[in-house]
Amino acid sequence: MVKKALITGITGQDGAYLARFLIGKGYKVYGMVRRTSMVNTSRLEYLGIKDKVEILYGDMLDLSSLQRVVENTEPDEIYNLAAQSFVATSWEQPILTAEVTGLGALKLLEAVRLVNPKIKFYQASSSEMFGASPDLPQNESSRFHPRSPYAASKLFAHWMTVNYRESYGMFTVSGILFNHESPIRGLEFVTRKITHAVAMIKEGKQDKLLLGNMAAKRDWGFAGDYVKAMWMMLQQDEPDDYVVATGETHTVREFCEKAFGYVGLDYQDYVEVSPELFRPADVEVLCGDSSKARMKLGWKPDVDFDGLIRMMVDADLKRVREGSY
Ligand code: NAP
Ligand code: F7E
């Protein structure tokens, strides 16, 4: 029998990669999207799968729509990837972030419990939940110390996922994923902001790049590798939580140095620091210990830091040269 998966957030970076991965595994893939005045399927088009997924309308703010989507699709697996996911915006829209990213996950868990508690449920948790944790590298037992409305909302959703497992015996898992990037990463995130600027500068279409905290350190991997781990978590006999990370951490400055260096430029000639781009509170260092995922799931990343930068710069150069964006 063909397995069915429902993905919330299918128009986002991970949603598109996960949909492509599941289609490759023979799944029937449903994607929930919110109503917008313009269609927003550019990532699905980029990966060549737009016509291979079935789209249904629903919103994380609206429990009745979630319940209807779950009833109408009768999935075996649900991947809850929908969120207001940009940390900086979460200070400007803290309540919306809590409602979509935090309460939205609880609404979806409730919809699953009411419609069919046997559906397996994946929650997109985040390394941001560790925030200012004194533990480094961070694993599943490390202490949480969220540092933004986004991180606090994700922590609420994480604990609700654990609680639905413990209270109702549901197959709910939380994947604590460290930063993962790709050529279809949103342009506001620092990696893509840099690789897009590198391409624009190289092609003579931009002269400088403004950045905020260049000393921040992140454990950056490739989104295509990370969506495999999501699926693997739902194929286990028992539901559990897993950290997914490369185990390497690099500064924003190093990312710049390598990305500009790849096209023969010195980042110091183009990058300026703008105090306006600093956050009210930042997470200074994240580095994940994914031993459990590697041992129990057999997961490992295939793309390393340098490979990720090359992939993103190459894709941006191609798009800038073609004028596609
Ligand atoms: P993304 O590109 O920002 O995608 C977010 C998705 O959520 C989009 O499809 C967006 O739809 C959808 N969405 C937002 N508000 C919604 C609402 N009210 N109702 C329904 N859908 C809504 O994020 P991503 O990078 O793919 O990340 C996927 C998930 O993993 C997110 O939950 C994120 O917080 C989490 N996460 C990401 C990372 C990472 O490094 N990428 C790491 C850890 C955890 P629109 O297209 O309409 O805006
Ligand atoms: O920032 C610093 C910034 O916005 C990374 C989301 O997917 O990963 C992501 O959250 C670092 C921060 O990602 C700029 O201050 C400097 O220290 O790329 P980012 P993030 O905040 O780590 C986690 C795991 C998620 O769950 C989130 O959903 O880079 N930084 N200068 C900058 N950041 C941005 N965006 N723009 C700058 O100009």
- Domains in the chain, start-ordered, CATH in brackets? 4-180+221-244 (3.40.50.720), 186-219+248-287+303-322 (3.90.25.10)
Peptide bond connecting 137 to the previous residue in cis, omega within 30 degrees of 0? yes
Query: How remote is the CA of residue 153 from the centroid of ligand 1, in Å?
Result: 13
Query: How remote is the CA of residue 308 from the centroid of ligand 2, in Å?
Result: 16
pLDDT along the chain (325 residues), means of 10: 97 98 98 95 98 98 98 98 98 98 99 98 99 98 98 99 98 99 98 98 98 98 99 98 98 98 98 98 98 98 98 98 86
- Clarify whether 64 is annotated catalytic: no
* C-beta 124 within 6 A of ligand 1: yes
- Residue of 37, 66, 81 to test ligand 1 pocket, by largest number of atoms within 8 Å of CB: 81
Q: Atom 14 (ligand 1): residue with closest C-alpha?
A: 83
What does the alpha-carbon distance between residue 24 and residue 10 come to, in Å, rounded to a whole number?
16
Q: Which ligand is nearest to the CA of 181?
A: 1
Atom from ligand 2 closest to the CA of residue 252: 29
Q: Which one, of 307, 308, 290, lies nearest residue 299 by Cα? A: 290
What does the alpha-carbon distance between residue 70 and residue 186 come to, in Å, rounded to a whole number?
28
Q: Which two tokens stand for residue 47?
A: 């990966």
- Going by their DSSP bridges, the two strands 180-181 and 77-80 should be labelled as unpaired
Q: Which two tokens stand for residue 197?
A: 């600027």
* Contact yes or no for 77/120 (Cβ under 8 A): yes
What's the maximum distance between 2 C-alpha atoms anywhere in the chain? 58
- Please give the radius of gyration of the chain, using alpha carbons only, rounded to the nearest integer: 19
Q: Which two tokens stand for residue 158?
A: 């994480």
Annotated active-site residue in 79, 150, 226, 262: 150
- Clarify whether 126 is annotated catalytic: yes
What are the φ/ψ torsions at residue 242 (nearest 5 degrees)?
-140, 140
Condensed to tens digits (0 to 9), the pLDDT of residues 49-69 reads 999 999 999 999 999 999 999
Q: Atom 2 (ligand 1): residue with closest C-alpha?
A: 12
Q: Atom 1 (ligand 1): residue with closest C-alpha?
A: 12
Task: Kindly list the protein residues whose Cβ atom lies closer than 6 A to any atom of ligand 2.
Answer: 85, 87-88, 126-128, 178-179, 188-191, 193, 211-213, 216, 218, 252, 277, 279, 282-283
Residue 324: its pLDDT value, please? 82
State the residue for tokens 């604990």.
159
Is the overall model pTM greater than 0.95, yes or no?
Answer: yes
Condensed to tens digits (0 to 9), the pLDDT of residues 145-182 reads 999 999 999 999 999 999 999 999 999 999 999 999 99
* Contact yes or no for 13/38 (Cβ under 8 A): no
First to last CA, the chain: 41
Question: Is residue 172 classed as helix, strand or coil in its secondary structure?
Answer: strand
* C-beta 61 within 6 A of ligand 1: yes
Residue 325: its pLDDT value, please? 64
Burial of 82 (0-12, 13-18, 19+ CB in 10 A): buried
Q: Which two tokens stand for residue 160?
A: 């609700």
- Clarify whether 79 is annotated catalytic: no
Q: Atom 10 (ligand 2): residue with closest C-alpha?
A: 87
Residue 225: its pLDDT value, please? 99
Query: How remote is the CA of residue 145 from the centroid of ligand 1, in Å?
Result: 22
Distances (CA, A) of 65 to 38, 70, 156, 294: 20, 9, 21, 37
